[in-house]
Amino acid sequence: MTYDQYVEQIKSFLLKQLVDKVYDIIITKITFLSWGPLGPLLKIILEKIIEIILYETEMAIFFLYTDLRVNAQGRKFYDAIEANMEAQEGGNEEDKQRTEKELIDSFRELVKLTN
């Protein structure tokens, strides 16, 4: 099973669970919605609404996570550049090696292509 298939399976499960739970809550509060064709229609409407919410929030969370991750790592990389420049200009050999290693590590963290 690929990662995408796994994620789709989780989304499908979550969608079904949320629809069932919300449907049960609504039916206990407004019982006439379960009569006749209203019950299945309510489930279809709930499924569409929750599906939209799941997929839209997934995209928003993805971009927010990406933006926060890159911003934090970008600041860390920028700080490492400044610290390395200061050490190279006037620090001792130990400081130069330490700040250069920190610079390399922060660069690797910034450009890492995996999660």
Cβ neighbours of 105 (radius 10 Å): 13
The pLDDT value recorded for residue 69 is 62
Q: How far is CA 103 from CA 40, 71, 72, in A?
A: 59, 16, 14
pTM (2 d.p.): 0.49
- In this prediction, residue 27 carries a pLDDT of 92
- Helix, strand, coil shares of the chain, percent, nearest 5, are 90, 0, 10
Reference 26, options 48, 53, 46, 50; nearest CA is 46
- pLDDT value at residue 82: 86
Give me the domain span that covers residue 86. 3-111
What is the pLDDT tens value at each position of the chain, 115 positions in all?
676 776 677 778 888 888 999 999 999 999 888 888 988 999 999 999 988 887 777 766 666 666 556 667 777 888 888 888 888 888 788 888 898 888 888 887 777 655 5
- Domains identified in the chain, total number: 1
CA proximity to 99, closest of 86, 110, 108: 86
Residue 65 is predicted with a pLDDT of: 63
